[in-house]
Amino acid sequence: MTDPATPVIGAARPAGSDSGTAGLRRGTASAFVAPALLLIAVFLVFPALWLLWIGLTDLTVSGRTSVDVSVVGLDNYAKALDDPLFGNSLWITLLFVFGSAVIGQNCLGFALAWTLRAAGRRVRTLVESAVLLAWILPSSVVAVLWIAMLDRDEGTVNRLLDTPGYAWMIRYPLAVLIVFNIWRGTAFSMLLYSAAVSTVPPSQLESARLAGASGPQTLRDVVFPHLRGHVLTNTLLISLWTFNDFTPYLLTRGEPNHRSETLPIFLYRQGIDEGALGYGAAASVLMLLINLVLALFYLRLLRRRTA
């Protein structure tokens, strides 16, 4: 028997009631959500639609096509796919992402996290502060520091190695960018893996030690099974960030001879330097699609791991 004075949970609402689960009417709830939807529409939806529209035109910064704009359809996309400079930039970007993010930041970030877990408090604080400092400094400041360090005449590296006049950013521009991005972006991976390593049960590590497992065996059989999801999440985030990073422009500007011209630099040169806004917008859409493919690939792997 149910006490008539006791309200029944889940009882049907009175007819004509439009209140939601939080007790707010739909109109009131919509009023709360409207500002957020407006911001999304203004700063996300409208720019995306505008970019798609520009990519279908021959719009330029100056000249006749800056005022007399014509719709060229998919010609800009076909031009980009057939452009050797676009293909070169895509290949360099993939090498940059693979070398500096997938391999460099992942491995160094985990190595630091695994090593510092057993270090003293002072040592851990010192190392973490140094790594975080490289991450939080403004890009322009970091670029100036690296340009000064690698200067062919008065650079710190050439002075230490006694190689005066050696132009590192001309001889090995992509390698410089990869090392630079590893140094600058490892902090995020280190923080993520530090939190992930702390979730590994100490009893399992102790059991592996008592069983005589070596360090690599412990990592393979005990630690990594707990970190696979974290590895995929970290790789997804740092890959997308690196793919869209514009900081390399501050170091090499894509030179020499387009050997360090990543896709963001290519888009800047086409859209701003060359003034081909329509072509640059179309190439931007292609870059966005590549980002989407990478994200879906990682998410699919993550879902398989979760399942």
89-134 pLDDT tens trace: 999 999 999 999 999 999 999 999 988 887 888 888 898 888 888 8
Taking the CB of residue 82, how many other CB atoms lie within 10 A of it? 9
3-state secondary structure 152-181: CCCCHHHHHHCCCCCCHHHHCHHHHHHHHH
- The one-character DSSP state at 69 is -
Question: Quick one: pLDDT at residue 203?
Answer: 85
Do 227 and 196 meet the contact criterion of CB atoms below 8 Å apart? yes
Burial of 150 (0-12, 13-18, 19+ CB in 10 A): buried
Q: Average pLDDT of the chain?
A: 85
∠ CA 37-41-42, rounded to 5°: 120
29-43, 76-90, 256-270: range with lowest mean pLDDT = 29-43
Question: Quick one: pLDDT at residue 128?
Answer: 87
- Label residue 22 by pLDDT band (50, 70, 90): low
**What mean pLDDT comes out for the span 151-169?**
88
| In the block, residue with structure tokens 């709360």 | 32
Do 184 and 138 meet the contact criterion of CB atoms below 8 Å apart? no
Alpha helices by DSSP H, listed for 74-165, are 75-82, 84-97, 106-116, 121-136, 139-149, 156-161
Question: Quick one: pLDDT at residue 10?
Answer: 47
Residue 36 to residue 26: CA distance in whole angstroms: 16
Q: Does the pLDDT value for residue 73 go beyond 50?
A: yes
| In the block, residue with structure tokens 């985990």 | 110
Question: Quick one: pLDDT at residue 265?
Answer: 94
End-to-end CA distance of the chain: 44
| In the block, residue with structure tokens 């990478």 | 294
Question: Quick one: pLDDT at residue 164?
Answer: 86
- The reply to whether the predicted model has a pTM over 0.75 is yes
Residue 214 to residue 262: CA distance in whole angstroms: 41
Higher pLDDT, 265 or 62: 265
Among candidates 60, 79, 76, which has minimal Cα distance to 68? Answer: 60
Burial of 37 (0-12, 13-18, 19+ CB in 10 A): exposed
